[in-house]
Amino acid sequence: MPPNDDHPHVPGPSLWPIGFAVGVVVLMVGLVVSWWVAGLGAIVAIVFAFLWIRDLTAGTPLVETAEAPPERPTGRALPATDGEAGMPLSPAEERYPRARFLEASTLGLGALIGGIITVPALGFMVGPPFLKQGQKDQDLGPLTDFPEGKYIVTTYTADVTQGKVSRRTAFVRYNGQVSGLPSFSIISNHCAHLGCPVQPNGPLDPSGRKVNGDVVLVPTISIAGFGCPCHGGQYDTEGNRTAGPPVRSLDRYAFSIRNGHLFIGKPFSVSHVEGTGGTAKITKWPFAFPGEHVDGLESWLYPIQPPH
């Protein structure tokens, strides 16, 4: 019979906690990048957590209280044939160790309580970016409201359920027919520096103001480009940066024509524009936040774009 040991069993060094931590990190990064990466991180974290718990709960011996060693008999040794036969182990001693049961119960209950507390809070923190909050196409009105070659300052509500907080402004210019189809330039009014509202560098024509539901159209008389009053960013009539701190051209919007009406679509970023009007060559990029480079070496500093 092995000697009694009153020290609790401590598992040896293991790599499972490291794998669990790596899985959690991948999961968190995936919540920003994509669901596939988040799913991979969750699988890795669950697998390593299972292996870690198995190591903690497996092979834990029952902690016994140290007993005083029996007294050695004195005098002449008895022959082996004398005395009574040894008693077999009682079935009651062959039982599931209480220490292992309590350890597994504590870990399981702790994990359950932690999940109940953590999952709702985590859902509120990371859930909104994945709830399809992207902008829907908005009807800006009939094509006849947009005269050829003139910018119209167009204000509309991107999401009626959110009210005035979702009001947006875009500069819309009808470029005429290109290859038999209507051509439009729709430029965002968010500066590519810090997102401040950009204004036309020229007078507006309040007398031509039109209101179509929640869409307000104000034509310009003539403009020499666009300017940001916050930090002095300047752009030409195609949205190319000409001066100041902006890192790229003004963003633009996709558009579509339906039943003779102009619909504004999703935004996209632009590094530069060559030419003017309907024949301009636009270098498009996925939509990026203000201040972020989309091309050149500087763009390597922004390898991950969170959901927009």
CATH code of the domain covering residue 206: 2.102.10.10
**Residue 153 structure tokens:** 């300052």
Domain assignment present for residue 73? The answer is no
State whether 171 and 270 are in the same domain: yes
Task: For residue 62, name the pLDDT band (cuts at 50, 70, 90).
Answer: very low
pLDDT at residue 221 is higher than 50: yes
Alpha-carbon distance of 173 to 5, in angstroms, equals 86
Q: Which of 162, 166, 185, 160 is nearest to 175 (CA)?
A: 185
Q: Which residue type, as a one-letter code, is found at position 148?
A: E
Element of type H or E holding 185: strand 181-188
Boundary-marking domain end, from 131, 155, 182: 131
Distances (CA, A) of 70 to 6, 67, 155: 17, 9, 95
Q: Is residue 80 part of a domain?
A: no
The pLDDT tens digits for 253-283 are: 999 999 999 999 999 999 999 999 888 999 9
For all residues of the chain together, what is the average pLDDT?
Answer: 82
pLDDT score of 299 more than 60: yes
Cβ atoms 140, 123 nearer than 8 A: no
pTM of the model: 0.62
In a domain, 187, yes or no: yes
Host domain of residue 216: 138-301
Residue 158, CA distances (Å) to 75, 199, 257, 278, 289 in order: 102, 20, 18, 26, 18
User: Burial level of 170, CB count in 10 A (0-12/13-18/19+)?
Assistant: buried
C-alpha–C-alpha distance, residues 98 and 62, integer Å = 7
67 occurs within a structural domain: no
Percent of the chain residues past pLDDT 70, beyond the cut: 77
Which of 81, 116, 131 finishes a domain? 131
Distance (Å, rounded) from C-alpha 187 to C-alpha 191?
Answer: 11
b/e string for 265-275 if b means 16 or more Cβ within 10 A?
Answer: eebbbbbebee
Please say whether the beta carbons of 170 and 151 come within 8 A.
Answer: no
CB 273 within 8 A of CB 238: yes
250 in Cβ contact with 198 (< 8 Å): yes
Higher-pLDDT residue of 68, 51: 51
Segment 76-94, tens digit of pLDDT: 665 655 555 555 555 555 5
pLDDT in tens, 127-184: 666 665 556 889 999 999 999 999 999 999 988 778 788 899 999 999 999 888 899 9
Domain boundary among 109, 131, 153: 131
Task: Say if CB 38 and CB 31 are below 8 A apart.
Answer: yes
Structure confidence at residue 159 (pLDDT): 81
AA identity, residue 14? S
CA gap 3, 203 in Å, rounded: 97
Q: How many structural domains comprise the chain?
A: 2
**CA-wise closest residue to 206 among 221, 192, 189:** 221
Residues 222 and 296 in one domain: yes
Based on the fold, state whether residues 165 and 269 are members of the same structural domain: yes
Same domain, 224 and 286: yes
Nearest to 302 by CA among 33, 106, 59, 102: 33
CA 192 to chain centre: 22
Judgement on whether residues 19 and 109 belong to the same structural domain of the protein: yes
Query: From the CA atom positions of the chain, what is the Rg in Å?
Result: 36
Specify whether 158 is located in the same domain as 253.
yes
Q: Are residues 118 and 194 in the same domain?
A: no
Query: Does a structural domain hold residue 28?
Result: yes
124 and 256 part of one domain: no
Same domain, 106 and 163: no
